[in-house]
Amino acid sequence: MTAPSTRRLPEHRVAPSVAATTNSHLQITDVTKNFGPQAVLKGVNLSVAKGGTTAIVGPSGSGKTTLLRLIAGFEHPDTGSISLNGTLVAGEGAWLPAHKRHIGYVAQDGALFPHLTVGQNVAFGLDAAKLEGGRRAVAARVAELLEMVSLDAAMAKRRPHQLSGGQQQRVALARALAREPELMLLDEPFSALDAGLRVATRRAVAKVLAEAGVTTILVTHDQAEALSFADQVAVMRGGKLAQIGNPFVVYTRPADRATAEFLGDAVILDAWLEGSLATCSLGGIPVRRPPAQGRVQLMLRPEQIRIAEDGPIRGVVVDTDYFGPETTVRLKLNVPQEVAEHADHRYPGGGEVITIRHWNASIARPGMELCLRVVGEAVAFPMED
Amino acid sequence: MTTDLSAPARRSTTTAGRGNSPRPPFGVSAVSVLAVLIALFSLVPLGYVAYMTVATGWDTAVGLILRPRVGELLLNTLLLMAATIPLCLLLGVAGAWLVERTKLRGHRVWAVLLAAPLAVPAFVNSYAWVTAVPSLGGLGSGILISTLSYFPLVYIPAAATLSRLDPAIEQSAAALGLGAWRTFFRVVFPQLRIAMTGGALLVGLHLLAEYGAFAMIRFDTFTTAIMTQYQSTFNGAAGNMLASVLVLFCLLLLLAEVRSRGTARYARIGSGVQGKALRLPLHAYQWPAQLFLLALTALAFGLPLFYVIRWILAGGADIWTASEFLPALLTTFSYGLAGAAATTVVAFPMAYLAVRHPGWFSKSLELSNYVTSSMPGIVVALAFVTVSIRLVPGVYQTAGLLVAAYVLLFIPRALVNLRAGLAQAPKELDEAAQALGKPPLLAFIRVTLRLTAPAAAGGAALVFLAIANELTATLLLSPNGTRTLATEFWSKSSEIDYAGAAPYALLMILLSAPMTYLLFQQSKKVAGQ
């Protein structure tokens, strides 16, 4: 484990859970959960390291909130078990109710108590009788917590409805931090905020949690949020975890096509794989750890396909979408020379339309021919039947 | 990396895995068992009527039902409803539209004044009209008095709906080429359907259940006839058969309301802040509109108030005998408070299941409540009299039995409020408290109960008001010698001691006024849900 302050630097972004599996704070084993006839979780296994940040990301209805509620102790798993710090808290006959788990929980809308002031909300989990110094100590702790989440101490007298959405989320975080939990669960806490505030609040929350050294699990349907927030990303789909790994790995080397497309835009091309070289409309592209040989589907991220004057691939611009800082360009690929010349070549494609991005809108007008170059490796998936 | 940051913003943020996941209804088994018991208890009146009809035997029942007297009552009741319900709809909707949708001068004042007649119990209204026009009697005056007493039951929900109606809908209609009048009839009017059918149902049920107002003007309906039967033969088969027919009427009304309510969606679709309502200029119609509202409130509220005060002035100091007056007030308060508290406590498990665990189970509980709520006071009272005498004679004519009857009669008032209150206290808050180390029960008390308290108090206040003005069940079930404001008023005015009755009438109006205002305020909040 590195110190919290340096843990967020890019070169340290290796999932601690991958590095040290023995040191797991939370262990989820074969958990299933049904609501009536509907299977929501179909066997989930997840290990979260102490002090680590894990994002559970998945589309709506994939079961990620249910998983979080199971960890928090709001629901019982049907089968499987959950243990915290090596102690079984759910499953195999064990059950520790939510209020004894010592887990912090921040809900989507903050779930601040509307009948209490901000200060009373933050102090809700504090017990004045148990704290040395009684009420004064509580007040001091509230002020300290508000400062920790960058809120003015004067805010303590306000009511939750007088705060903005971002401020409410910070109060919810301060409230959850008050009891110094070792594990913090964040259930889409930023999704109700508008785009600009979302990024700022996410950064602030990540900083506070990292400084406090709290193990954090974030549930989100926003892949950018998951990739930027966590050092371990677990992709959830249809009640199962499709892939768990460090953000860079899951983004660049997704386990399957659905994961690839969920985590970001993807260019998918039919290709012929021999050894570790795939041939497709973009020419020959190296593939890391080829899963199969022969016909495969090749996945590239749009940013891997660059417009370059000396690029070997050619494509004609079909249309463009202007977004300001960047332009989305749809290109129809030419059939490569070698493929056209060698009739016996078993490369299956040619003439696909792909979408790439470019910063300069003026060089891509419909009808123009562009030269392209592929950077880096591609990921190959076995053909789907 | 150039991952598209704008993508998440376009995704829906509202369907985050919670919401519609079906939860097992028996998850909170203790509450469920309690709710089932309450629902079974609430079906006592209906069960009683069904049992009595069967026990009477087919031939006797047919003989008792198919006789000229019943035909006469049937005709009276049908004509009363056929005339009063449309009149109430007309007055209620017209009033609501003028107040909410036109540039009516003083519309804020009129908005409250049009709800005010609800503070005058129908039998006090009747008493005032009999004083004003001693020759009143029969169908015509029944229609007059009940229309003036009950049109606010349509006005309040209609006004609430109109004030919450999204003006964007009307603007869309205008953009599609509809003029102001056509917009009202093709777009606004259909939106009023729920308010109108609901209001019409309430008016109909009140017409079927009212005793005092009609007895005073010697207009016979099923309820007055059952009361007469009861007073002469105590618990005869004839009275029971009349009750069966009355209950049948109530159930038919319920069914008619469910059928006509329809399945279309009337809630506002889409998000964003709603604009302010459009108000039509009245121009030349300003004065006719003012005159219409003035006449309506004068007849419905001014006249009864005027005659009550006149009788008080005429009676002078003699009618304020504290020895009669204070005990009645105290008894009314005691029953009102006990009944309000009991009703709120009993309604809570029902409301809790309906909000936190919606499903077929809570729906069927609600249905049983809905049916019970349509039972007239006279039927509930008869059922309790008979069941208690036959099964548990010890409780007959005890305060507890009367409170139980109040609970059954007024539980819907508490339910509506509690449900709205519980909706303000989502389960997530309870869970947040648990995650902060509070055991479930403590979390529930400190968060859910605390947040529901204002709504529960509002509901309890409405139940209190209803009990303070309740006459029929109180006459039948109260312990011997019990004197409430309503029963004292009734016995005095039955002895033609109109001056002596006046203080009780005034007190009932004064007690009801703040509650009516509360009801009016609440309707505006509930309408959007």
DSSP string computed for A94-163 = EE--GGGS-EEEE-TT----TTS-HHHHHHTT--TTTSTTHHHHHHHHHHHHHHHTT--GGGGGS-GGGS
Residue B168 CB coordination number (10 Å): 15
pLDDT over 70 (residue B120): yes
Cα B246 to chain center, whole Å?
18
Give alpha helix (H) positions in A190-269. Answer: 195-212, 223-229, 247-252, 257-263
CB contact under 8 A, A125 and B437: yes
Q: What is the mean pLDDT of residues B213-218?
A: 90
Residue B101 pLDDT: 85
Chain A residues within an 8 Å CB radius of B8: 191, 195, 221-225
pLDDT over 70 (residue B4): no
> Tell me: the pLDDT tens digits for A49-97?
998 999 999 988 889 999 999 999 988 999 999 999 989 999 888 899 8
Tell me the residue ranges of DSSP E strands in B113-160. none
When pLDDT is cut at 50, 70 and 90, the band that residue A7 belongs to is: very low
| A353/A13: higher pLDDT | A353
pLDDT over 90 (residue B495): no
CB contact under 8 A, A187 and B16: yes
Residue A251 pLDDT: 94
For residue B363, the distance in angstroms to the closest alpha carbon of chain A comes to 18
Residues with Cβ within 8 Å of A93's Cβ and at least 6 positions away in sequence, in order, are none
Residue A263 pLDDT: 92
Q: What is the mean pLDDT of residues B116-126?
A: 91
Q: What CA–CA distance (Å, rounded) separates A101 from B355?
A: 27
Residues with Cβ within 8 Å of A271's Cβ and at least 6 positions away in sequence, in order, are A278, A279, A280, A285, A295, A296, A297, A298, A347, A348, A349, A378, A380
When pLDDT is cut at 50, 70 and 90, the band that residue B526 belongs to is: low
Residue B185 pLDDT: 81
| B117/B27: higher pLDDT | B117
CB contact under 8 A, B9 and A36: no
SS3 A81: strand
- Helices B450-468 & B498-526, crossing angle to 10 degrees? 150
Q: Which of A34, A71, A99 to mutate to test the interface with B (most CBs of B within 10 A)?
A: A99
When pLDDT is cut at 50, 70 and 90, the band that residue A385 belongs to is: low
Residue B337 pLDDT: 93
Residue B5 pLDDT: 34
Least confident window among A149-163, B241-255, B336-350, B356-370: B356-370
Q: What CA–CA distance (Å, rounded) separates A112 from B126?
A: 52
CB contact under 8 A, A222 and B21: no
pLDDT over 90 (residue A234): yes
Q: What is the mean pLDDT of residues A123-136?
A: 80
When pLDDT is cut at 50, 70 and 90, the band that residue A44 belongs to is: very high
User: Which whole-number Å values give the CA distances from B448 to A113, A190, B352, B422, B452, in the listed order?
Assistant: 10, 25, 10, 7, 6
* Cα angle for residues B73, B74, B75 (degrees, 5° grid): 90
When pLDDT is cut at 50, 70 and 90, the band that residue B198 belongs to is: confident
Chain A residues within an 8 Å CB radius of B434: 73-74, 97-99
Q: What is the mean pLDDT of residues B126-138?
A: 89
| A-B contacts at Cβ under 8 angstroms | 125
Chain A residues within an 8 Å CB radius of B440: 97-99
Residue A342 pLDDT: 56
Length in residues, chain B: 529
| B30/A287: higher pLDDT | A287
Residues with Cβ within 8 Å of B316's Cβ and at least 6 positions away in sequence, in order, are none
Residues with Cβ within 8 Å of B252's Cβ and at least 6 positions away in sequence, in order, are none
SS3 A319: strand
Chain B residues within an 8 Å CB radius of A194: 9
> Tell me: the pLDDT tens digits for B378-394?
888 888 888 888 888 88
For residue A104, the distance in angstroms to the closest alpha carbon of chain B comes to 6
Q: Under an 8 Å CB criterion, which residues of B touch A?
A: 1-9, 11-13, 15-18, 21-24, 424, 426, 428-429, 431-440, 443, 447, 450-451
A289: left (phi over 0), alpha (psi -120 to 50) or beta: left
Please tell me which residue of chain B has the smallest CA distance to A72. Answer: B435
**Phi, psi (deg, nearest 5) at residue B36:** -65, -45
Mean per-residue pLDDT of chain B:
83
Residue A137 pLDDT: 86
pLDDT over 50 (residue B12): no
Closest to B11 (Cβ–Cβ): which among A113, A172, A221?
A221
Q: What CA–CA distance (Å, rounded) separates B138 from B218?
A: 7
Residue B277 pLDDT: 66
Q: What is the mean pLDDT of residues B88-116?
A: 91
pTM: 0.76
Q: What is the mean pLDDT of residues B259-274?
A: 55
CB contact under 8 A, A60 and B12: yes
* Cα angle for residues A167, A172, A173 (degrees, 5° grid): 95
Cα B229 to chain center, whole Å?
27
Asked if residue B308 lies in contact with residue B505, where contact means CB atoms within 8 angstroms, the answer is: yes
pLDDT over 60 (residue A17): no
pLDDT over 70 (residue B6): no
Least confident window among A6-15, B193-202, B378-387: A6-15
CB contact under 8 A, B433 and A113: yes
pLDDT over 80 (residue B398): yes
pLDDT over 50 (residue A11): no
> Tell me: the pLDDT tens digits for B288-307?
999 999 999 999 999 999 99
> Tell me: the pLDDT tens digits for B27-78?
467 788 888 888 888 888 888 888 888 888 888 878 877 788 888 898 999 9
Q: What CA–CA distance (Å, rounded) separates A317 from A329?
A: 7
Both tokens assigned to B361: 């189970």
Q: What CA–CA distance (Å, rounded) separates B60 from B53?
A: 10
Residue A366 pLDDT: 87
CB contact under 8 A, B447 and A265: no
Query: Helix, strand, coil proportions of chain B in percent (round to 5)?
Result: 80, 0, 20
Q: What CA–CA distance (Å, rounded) separates A292 from A129?
A: 65
pLDDT over 90 (residue B163): no
